[in-house]
Structure 1
Amino acid sequence: MNPLMSAEQAVLGAALLDPEQLTHLEWLAADHFYRPVHQALFAALRKLRNDGHPAPSAAGPLPLSWVTDAVEEAGQHVRGLTAAYAHTLIQACPRTEHAPVYGRMVLEGAIHRTVAQHAIRLHQAARADAVQGEVEGAVRTADVLTGVLTDLARRWGTDPRPVPPTAGPSAATHIPPPAQSGQVAEDERFLLAVLAEQPGAMGEVVAWLRPGDFADPTHGQLYRCLGALHHRGEPIDRITLLWEAQRRGLLADGTVSSEQLTAIWEGMVPGSADWFGQRVMRSSVTRTAAASARAIRTLGLSPARRTPQSVVSHPPLGRSPGPWQGGPPGGGRGLPP
């Protein structure tokens, strides 16, 4: 038995049995129902009440016309609705006074579907942007999803807050396509080489690029070392970077190998730290957008009974404005030491 379908049937059955229950469901809309026939019937019941149908104010037993008129009105907008199904709805309602509770369940189901739909769009935009090497579509779609989640959170009396990402064995399969992976790693190596070889290059990216934006964790650790040197005002070159990596135990524990460092130094090409940084960030945005979309979609579509708070408590979608979003240089958050 589908709990959501049972809730939809129960709230409609309550309204058919007791029109007064509609006064307790002003916050529920027809499009909150999943089945079109339920949407049409709820809209019909509300219309009859607003148009002054005599049943809600009738003394004594409820006139049968309340049910038949509702079925007739709804039948103008949807096919297949019969009086027999209205009787099924009435039987599906355990207690009419619980209509607000049933309505809340219907609303929660609508929230889950809304979040899941927007998350699917974000995932599609992120994948399309990853293939094209762009980020604008994913950023726009993420902004829309963030607005939806914030609005839902406000209505439910809670604040959107990050939750730990759901663990899954397929996380590595959802990064940008293989054709992009080699280019992403190359961009990261080029950026690290430029940062280590060009004086002042860290100042171009430190305000908005973070270690977690690197696809390769080793590259992220090396960038963290560069950020620490920059934060302390120490000289930056390949020797000081190597020293900082050693101080942090990255060489001893195997996080960084000499082969990886050699590949970075030998791959040095002329270029701008800002330009390579933007390429690294664009890749990070699409990966983050896809991961957030999967996590939010999982919450929205999970068969487990989840509260609206757990759905709107979404993984972080926003970032400090980067150059691709028109953010001012130095306007973001710098690296910690």
Structure 2
Amino acid sequence: MSISTIDNENEIVTADGTPLRISIKRAERRRKIRAFGLILPLFLFVLLFFVFPIIKLGLVSIDNSIVPDVLVHSVVAIEEWDGNGLPPESVYAAMAKDLAKGKKNRTIGRVAKRLNFEKSGYRRLLISSARKSEKLNAPFKDALIKINKKWAEPAYWQILARENSSITFSYFFAALDLGINADGSIYMQPEEQSIYIEIFARTLVISAQVTIACLLLGFPIAYLMANLPTRTSNLLIILVLLPFWISLLVRTTAWIVLLQDQGLINQTLQLIGVIDEPLGLIRNRIGVVVAMTHILLPFMTLPLFSVMKGINPSLMRAASSMGANPVQAFF
């Protein structure tokens, strides 16, 4: 690009007379647009198949619109109830009206399923009452209790009073083994009913174990791949990529053959006298960690290799020449 200088302003311009400063800004802008165009497909892919589904899942997890949509009159009437004893006659009348409408619109089953999540027996209560809603007459309180004695239990009404909003956090509490009392206080589920926290903890422990195992195995492999001669390095890369070319079913079957009680590992250890009885290496934590490490090892090794390959080997020699010990030079 040829340039010239405008004497009166002392500003460098390009051959077409555009100031160099403006020309550079335009070139930089075009470069950014091209770069954005390259990442746009990936960005849209992540947005459509990861971000939006996660947002939608989050919205669904707090959605409780089915209750106020179906039990329209009941959720309004129950707001006047103080939560003590049984609701007044107006709440029972509103419920009778909603039951009849829900039966006619065939929506009572959906709200019954939702409230049954909060208290077992709610589904049968609503559906059985809706079937006889056409025969209900005032006073509706006595009529509903006559149909099902559960209408005389405050617990069912307290749940409706608590879940009368279009947003609920009950699913989140349940996922953390928490429950909500009738007065709105939060409590921990009994040990025999608490399962999710244990599952979360077990998942984190296994994830940490597999990550550490992959790091311990993948780091030296990646280092060798980055520093060995090209021919040997290519062979190691092929061996690392080999699991991608083998079916998951085949890999799982191979580990079963190796780790089972009469498998190759146990038989070898018994043959050389290391153990007398077969070790439990399968259908337990050990088998899970071993198999997952085998599957996920390439995902640890290849990123490490790509980074190590970009490190100049002369840096370690330079560090050693300046007095660093091997460990200091390596890190």
TM-score by length of 1: 0.33
| Higher relative strand content | 2
Q: Which has the larger radius of gyration?
A: 2
Structure of higher RCO (CA pairs closer than 8 Å, 6+ residues apart): 1
